[in-house]
Structure 1
């Protein structure tokens, strides 16, 4: 918002600047005589500054101010007159009407416009130098081949706009940026508080006091809305947990009765189906809990210890399915800000997916960056955008029909709660690799 307000003020300032440019341009463009007066005034000032005393006690115009007359001998001329109209210096004096050199016939300072052959002749007289020297300078211009009018107009634009307006505009923009930044400070504090909110988070900091009634009311409404959302989410989690717990008892009973059946192919298929059903129930419960993950301030999770625990727990499962688990630690210790139980659940889901869908050798890697990786040597990722894999109930074409499609969705939500990310890619040497990235580490 600060940038928007500053940008709009800058556009307004630019419009004011352009309006002044147009007005000054129109004024002098419609009044050529006023602009010619400015040219004469500037030229007289330049030549008076170049006035120097000569060796014979008189005065002359130094060479640096004579370039205009040497370059355009048919357009510009001057005469420097001393006491009793004595000619001290001149250039192209043939352009100067003879009667203009007689001081007795004119005042000392004047500008006249005389008709000429197709081009008006501008003649001006001005007293210059020390008063005791009694010097008078006569300047003549026929036409404007040196574009003195254009330079005079540019000088007027600079003098009326660049010098007074531009510094004022810059000062105004700077003061506006400072005031807007300070005025929006409460909004910035409110935004920082709002970004830290998370449904289900515990020990949520109270909203900051901004001193602005409208923002305080908005923060209060946001806090109450978050409380309502947290309560609704807790209710959903509770219902999912109650359903999962209610299913566990009959599942355990059915599994126990399976042990009473004679061994055979049908019994083995039933055991596999019951194992998959038990995993689905666990995932339903985990899916509900994933939305309630809250990272307590100062909570740390040891990724190396988590990886070791997950590999040790799932190794028997991998062996029963003919898979092989290995752990590679590229750093002796790696801690991140996070919840150990949630990260354990995320890594467990990735390893279980690799066991079920790929088999073979599965490598869990800790580090070297703040993350965990799970690589398999299976058929790789399905065609399409890998991000679709993390959508709820999304299953690959070769996934078992009994799967629920919740595992990777749970992982993605846990990583979002940790302000991290989970990515999937096909490994160059075959198979797929999933990576859990975390922000802060040590």
Structure 2
């Protein structure tokens, strides 16, 4: 089984979404290269982040021992250090002070950053003036003493970056300048594209639905009422004209086949009457068998013509019991001549279905004739139900493996088929059932032989 072909809407949506994703990735790459190449900006961003964490953790003029900000300096004593210094140059608190250059303690400025060359690389040293700080943080929403201190400074030192502060600063810039402003815009663009594509291609979907409803030999339904683009309107008009020509040719072909089959009935009947006047003998028997096969072929061609023009009016119902009784009575002489016993099993109540009486009779007759010809002198069992079904079971050789997928094809004949047939009987049954919104199924019967099931729509 082949994979389903995606619709035009799906193809366009996927391609536009792919374009939006590519544009987003290219923009992300460009922004990433820009910010990643500016190391000074990343260092300043990392310093600003750390000083803000320190300011948030201050309680009065110190940092509590359990503050989360201390984790960085405790985990990496050789990489990061900080000191809190007052206006007078006194160190109030520090962690890893051996990393802090002494000159940085007495450097008074609001914000400054310097890079010092060392034997192991360089040392990043920064200072930040906190300005006014409330002496004691609010524990319950109130100042503890209302006094203000001035000039609290933080000295920050980074000798290396095992905690990847620069990488975090890069991700922060990336988030603020790419993901936060651009990603929602990309998602909005994709959603708008999907909406506009579906709306723009709606006339094509309506035209496709109209085209799927076309049936050869039936009047074309009305085209889509909605306004469609000029190209789609031309396609619908051309399709309708082609369908009209096809319907005319189809009707002519059916008419010619029916006329030819009908014209052959009289000569065949004359030949049958003349054969009866011939003296019995081997040649006469062979002619009679050949003429019988010819007569069945003519009848099948006529049945095929009827199947092509079969229509089911609304509220047309038929009792399957009556159909089964009529077909059994009509084919009993034919079965007797072949040495085949016919049996009929009927339910107690009626089985009403939505079907055409002539269609049901033709379909069942073809199945019973087929069973008689292939029954190998065994009984042919006809039954109604359970449910809206007719069953025909024979005791012949069963369904050959070659029949899989070909059993209901016109003119297909399996190996060992009875001579004289045309391979039309089962194909006609399938066409009749589809015309009545029913189905036909063939399967091996328990104990040997084959069983054919005609299913119909219940009228209940």
Q: Shorter chain as normaliser: what TM range?
A: 0.7 to 0.9
Q: For 2:331, which of 291, 303, 314 is the aligned residue?
A: 314
Q: For 2:383 and 2:117, locate their aligned partners in 1 and report how far apart those are by CA, in whole Å.
A: 97
Q: For 1:172 and 1:37, locate their aligned partners in 2 and report how far apart those are by CA, in whole Å.
A: 35
Q: Is 1:206 aligned to residue 222 of structure 2?
A: yes
Q: For 1:91 and 1:330, locate their aligned partners in 2 and report how far apart those are by CA, in whole Å.
A: 100
- Determine if contact 2:317/2:353 at 8 Å carries over to the other structure: yes
- Displacement of 1:71 in angstroms is 0.6
- Determine if contact 2:352/2:458 at 8 Å carries over to the other structure: no
- Determine if contact 1:51/1:129 at 8 Å carries over to the other structure: no
Q: Is 1:240 aligned to residue 247 of structure 2?
A: no
Q: For 2:127, which of 103, 120, 125 is the aligned residue?
A: 125
Please show how residues 170-209 of structure 1 align to structure 2 within 5 Å.
170-202=187-219, 204-209=220-225
- Displacement of 1:421 in angstroms is 4.9
Q: For 1:160 and 1:370, locate their aligned partners in 2 and report how far apart those are by CA, in whole Å.
A: 69
- Name 2:62's counterpart in structure 1: 59
- Displacement of 1:187 in angstroms is 1.8
- Name 2:176's counterpart in structure 1: 159
Q: Secondary structure at the match of 2:126?
A: strand
Q: Secondary structure at the match of 1:77?
A: strand
Please show how residues 189-338 of structure 1 align to structure 2 within 5 Å.
189-202=206-219, 204-212=220-228, 213-262=230-279, 267-294=284-311, 306-323=323-340, 324-327=342-345, 333=351, 335-336=353-354
- Displacement of 1:409 in angstroms is 2.1
- Determine if contact 1:201/1:292 at 8 Å carries over to the other structure: no
| Greater Cα offset, 128-137 or 300-309 | 300-309
- Name 1:14's counterpart in structure 2: 21
1:321-362 deviation line (CA, Å, top 9, x unaligned): 2332334669964535x5443344233222221111125233
> Structure 1 residues 419, 147: closer, same or farther in 2, change over 3 A?
farther
Q: For 2:414, which of 396, 405, 409 is the aligned residue?
A: 396
> Structure 1 residues 70, 229: closer, same or farther in 2, change over 3 A?
same
- Determine if contact 2:317/2:352 at 8 Å carries over to the other structure: no
Q: Secondary structure at the match of 2:156?
A: strand
Q: For 2:194 and 2:74, locate their aligned partners in 1 and report how far apart those are by CA, in whole Å.
A: 53
Q: Secondary structure at the match of 1:209?
A: coil
> Structure 1 residues 299, 162: closer, same or farther in 2, change over 3 A?
farther
Q: Any stretches of 5+ residues in structure 1 without a counterpart?
A: none
Q: For 1:440 and 1:147, locate their aligned partners in 2 and report how far apart those are by CA, in whole Å.
A: 75
> Structure 1 residues 435, 171: closer, same or farther in 2, change over 3 A?
farther
Q: For 2:445, which of 408, 418, 427 is the aligned residue?
A: 427
Q: For 1:82 and 1:419, locate their aligned partners in 2 and report how far apart those are by CA, in whole Å.
A: 94
> Structure 1 residues 256, 170: closer, same or farther in 2, change over 3 A?
same
Q: Secondary structure at the match of 1:161?
A: helix
- Name 1:33's counterpart in structure 2: 40
1:366-402 deviation line (CA, Å, top 9, x unaligned): 5557654433221012232521222222112222221
> Structure 1 residues 115, 284: closer, same or farther in 2, change over 3 A?
same
Q: Secondary structure at the match of 1:52?
A: coil
Q: For 2:99, which of 80, 95, 99 is the aligned residue?
A: 95
- Displacement of 1:75 in angstroms is 0.3
> Structure 1 residues 281, 133: closer, same or farther in 2, change over 3 A?
farther
Question: RMSD value over aligned CA atoms?
Answer: 2.9
- Determine if contact 2:380/2:395 at 8 Å carries over to the other structure: yes
Q: For 2:172 and 2:321, locate their aligned partners in 1 and report how far apart those are by CA, in whole Å.
A: 74
- Determine if contact 2:403/2:414 at 8 Å carries over to the other structure: no
The size of the alignment, in residue pairs, is 434
> Structure 1 residues 180, 235: closer, same or farther in 2, change over 3 A?
same
Q: Any stretches of 5+ residues in structure 2 without a counterpart?
A: 1-7, 134-147
- Displacement of 1:406 in angstroms is 1.2
Q: Is 1:4 aligned to residue 11 of structure 2?
A: yes
Q: For 2:170 and 2:103, locate their aligned partners in 1 and report how far apart those are by CA, in whole Å.
A: 31
- Displacement of 1:70 in angstroms is 0.8
Q: Secondary structure at the match of 1:85?
A: coil
Q: For 2:452 and 2:330, locate their aligned partners in 1 and report how far apart those are by CA, in whole Å.
A: 19
- Displacement of 1:145 in angstroms is 0.7
- Determine if contact 2:320/2:350 at 8 Å carries over to the other structure: no
> Structure 1 residues 381, 207: closer, same or farther in 2, change over 3 A?
same
- Displacement of 1:157 in angstroms is 2.5
Q: Is 1:345 aligned to residue 356 of structure 2?
A: no
Q: For 1:358, which of 375, 378, 395 is the aligned residue?
A: 375
- Name 2:56's counterpart in structure 1: 49
- Name 1:383's counterpart in structure 2: 401
> Structure 1 residues 309, 100: closer, same or farther in 2, change over 3 A?
farther
- Determine if contact 1:81/1:136 at 8 Å carries over to the other structure: yes
Q: Secondary structure at the match of 1:211?
A: coil
- Determine if contact 2:216/2:246 at 8 Å carries over to the other structure: yes
